[in-house]
């Protein structure tokens, strides 16, 4: 908590004591949750109107949505324990430890939510394109995504050993350089822990082969598009 900061940092925090991210946290969570809910509903409406059966991609998307709802709930819960305010206002050690534990839980939910979203898109590609070679590409990307997920999960949960040291720095043990670990993932798996750029890259890798093959088909441009 406040004891981990230098006098200069504490002075800066004191000078900006009235700053808060709580309203923006509530607004952004509400907007994103509304958009996610609408997207999932429209997805299932499209399946029903098109008389198409639900596929693995749809189930993965639904599981991702459930995880996102849980993620948002944890985010809102953290506000009760000081999330969005300067750390010097968190004077209750128990509240601080609960906030850190919720953060670890939130990170795990997000990581596996990203896994479900990526797998949903990969299974959607599998449904659209039936080539054997393309399926092998999807399997390769799927395995790489799973490896990234496991690495991110274990590193986020066990960034400190014992885990309790994450919220109680007085305990004996050690913590890894979590920022350095994120940079390592960024170098080996371009993107970051939260996967936005890596997700875009996954799509480009998966679709590039089929796009090139489609472009060579002797059909009018409109048909190929």
pLDDT digits (tens, 9 = 90+) for 60-102: 999 999 999 999 999 888 888 877 777 777 777 787 788 888 9
Average per-residue pLDDT for the chain = 80
Residue 23 has pLDDT above 90, yes or no: no
Of 73 and 187, the one with more pLDDT: 73
For residues 16-25, average pLDDT: 82
The rounded distance, in Å, linking the Cα atoms of 78 and 100 is: 9
Residue 120: the pLDDT is 92
Residue 116: the pLDDT is 94
Beta strands in 162-212 (DSSP E): 174-175
Under 8 Å between Cβ of 58 and 126 = no
Residue 217 binned pLDDT confidence (cut-offs 50, 70, 90): low
Domain boundaries, the chain: 2-224
Share of the chain above pLDDT 90, in %: 20
The rounded distance, in Å, linking the Cα atoms of 117 and 65 is: 9
Of 195 and 138, the one with more pLDDT: 138
Residue 193: the pLDDT is 43
Residue 225: the pLDDT is 53
Of 137 and 205, the one with more pLDDT: 137
The rounded distance, in Å, linking the Cα atoms of 225 and 108 is: 39
For residues 50-67, average pLDDT: 91
Instruction: Count CB neighbours of 187 within 10 A.
Output: 8
**What pTM did the predictor assign?**
0.75
């Amino acid at each position: 908590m406040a004891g981990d900061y230098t006098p200069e940092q504490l002075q800066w925090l004191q000078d900006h004591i009235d700053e808060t991210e709580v309203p923006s946290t509530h607004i952004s969570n509400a907007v994103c949750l509304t958009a996610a809910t609408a997207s999932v509903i429209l997805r299932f409406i499209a399946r029903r109107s098109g008389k198409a059966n639900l596929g693995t991609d749809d189930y993965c998307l639904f599981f991702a949505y459930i995880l996102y709802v849980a993620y948002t709930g944890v985010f809102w819960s953290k506000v009760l324990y000081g999330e969005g305010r300067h750390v010097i206002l968190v004077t209750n050690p128990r509240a601080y430890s609960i906030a850190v534990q919720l953060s670890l839980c939130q990170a795990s939910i997000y990581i596996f939510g990203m896994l479900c979203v990526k797998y949903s898109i990969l299974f959607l590609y599998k449904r659209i394109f039936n080539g054997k070679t393309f399926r092998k590409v999807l399997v390769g990307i799927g395995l790489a995504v799973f490896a990234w997920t496991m690495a991110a999960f274990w590193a986020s949960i066990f960034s400190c050993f014992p885990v309790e040291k994450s919220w109680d720095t007085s305990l004996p043990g050690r913590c890894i350089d979590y920022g350095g670990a994120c940079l390592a993932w960024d170098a080996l798996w371009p993107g970051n822990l939260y996967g936005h750029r890596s997700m875009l890259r996954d799509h480009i890798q998966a679709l590039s082969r089929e796009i090139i093959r489609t472009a060579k088909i002797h059909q009018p441009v409109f048909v190929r598009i």
